[in-house]
Amino acid sequence: MTTPFDSQALVTILREHARFSTGRPGGKRADLHGADLSGLRLPGIDLRQAKLTGANLSRIDLTTADLSEADLFGANLAGANLTRTNFEGADLRGARFRGAVLKGANLAGADLRPGKASLGTAETRTDLSGANLEGSILSRARLLFANLKRANLKDVDASGANFESANFEEADLSMANLSGARLDSADLTAANLSGANLERASLLGSRFRGALLTGASIDRGAGDDALRAILSLPESLQGQMRAHALWAASNGERGKRLTLEDQDLTGIDIPGAYLSGARIVNCNLAGANLRGAALELADLSECNLEGAVLAGADLRGIKLRGAILRKANLASADLRAMKIRALDGQEVGYTRYADLTSADMKNANTRGMRLEEPETAH
């Protein structure tokens, strides 16, 4: 619960804190924990080492302010203007930055891990979703489990930062310096990493489905097979797959559905590809590696998939009418029915079954494959 502050009391606290910061007599560290300072304009204010635990700083203007080493545990900074604000070494665990502007901000060494308000309560992840951090400094910052979905991280310096298990879905990391950063188990689905520096970065278990990596600098052998496969794709196809990932993740609100017809994609290597709902018709995919790919509700009618690897792929509700699957590896592939849902997640009463009409599956490996067919009336 936040507490409103009258203007005179706030002026006194800030005046005493200024003396504290500069070591002058009569100084006192500002204690604004739980304070409601929403919407105030305090550009350039000196709040170094101030206590702002749980404060409501939403929509505040702290442009060029100094909050280095401040305690902002659990603070609400949603929609705040934090352009060129200094948060170096600050405690920002569990803070909320949704929609905030942090262009050119300095978060070097800041702690943005999840925070727990009290014993027995759930941890709150630091929320930077949709925030604008373009050109900011995040070197050595700790952002474990942070939510950076759709955040603008263009040209940031995040060298040596810890982003373990962070969510970067649809984020813009183009030209970002992520050298030596820890991105283990991070979700970079549909993220833009074009021109990013990922040298010496740790990428164990990170997910790059639909990510754009043109011009990115990555150590040879880093990441998994899916990441290396994306890097080998032509730039135009990478862009199309990212647009499709955005389309699929947003239920068609953003991006563009992948549509390929009459293309020669022989031997394409895209394990774990995010192709849900894609339309890839009459294409040559002979010998393609689609192991573990997400292809639910996709249309691969009339495609040549001879010798292709689809082991462990999600093929629920897929359309494979007239497809050639001779000698294809479908081991443990999922071809069960899929219930169609509306945008709000509610079932619409329609179930789509995998369509294998006229498909040629001679000598295909179907060990462990799960196929669900519609019940026929007796």
pTM above 0.95, yes or no: no
136: pLDDT strictly greater than 90: yes
Cα radius of gyration rounded to whole Å, the chain: 25
Domain 258-378 CATH (choose: 2.60.120, 1.10.10, 2.70.70, 2.160.20): 2.160.20
- State which amino acid sits at residue 351: T
Task: Give Cα separations from 62 to 58, 75, 231, 319 (angstroms).
Answer: 11, 14, 40, 54
Return the DSSP state at 45: -
**Rounded Cα–Cα distance for residues 276 and 316 (Å):** 10
120: pLDDT strictly greater than 60: no
Q: What is the pLDDT of residues 242-253, one digit of tens each?
A: 999 889 888 888
Residues 78-99 as b/e (b if ≥16 CB within 10 A, e otherwise) read bbbbbbbbbbbbbbbbbbbbbb
Q: What confidence score (pLDDT) does residue 378 get?
A: 43
Q: What confidence score (pLDDT) does residue 377 get?
A: 45
Q: What confidence score (pLDDT) does residue 128 get?
A: 94
**Rounded Cα–Cα distance for residues 1 and 13 (Å):** 20
Task: Give Cα separations from 96 to 22, 74, 105, 182 (angstroms).
Answer: 29, 7, 15, 22
Q: What is the pLDDT of residues 29-73, one digit of tens each?
A: 999 999 999 999 999 999 999 999 999 999 999 999 999 999 999
Residues 306-316 as b/e (b if ≥16 CB within 10 A, e otherwise) read bbbbbbbbbbb
Return the DSSP state at 244: H
Question: How confident is residue 317, by pLDDT bands cut at 50, 70 and 90?
Answer: very high
Nearest partner of 98 among 152, 53, 134, judged by Cα? 152
Q: What is the average pLDDT score of the chain?
A: 91
Q: What confidence score (pLDDT) does residue 302 get?
A: 98
- If one compares 281 and 222, the residue with the highest pLDDT of the two is 281
Maximum Cα–Cα distance across the chain: 93
Task: Give Cα separations from 83 to 181, 208, 348 (angstroms).
Answer: 24, 30, 45
User: How many Cβ atoms from other residues are within 10 Å of residue 246's Cβ?
Assistant: 21
46 three-class SS: strand
Question: How confident is residue 155, by pLDDT bands cut at 50, 70 and 90?
Answer: very high
Q: What is the pLDDT of residues 332-350, one digit of tens each?
A: 999 999 987 765 556 666 7
* Sequence ranges of the domains in the chain: 258-378
Q: What confidence score (pLDDT) does residue 119 get?
A: 43
Return the DSSP state at 115: B
339 contacts 358 by C-beta, under 8 angstroms = no
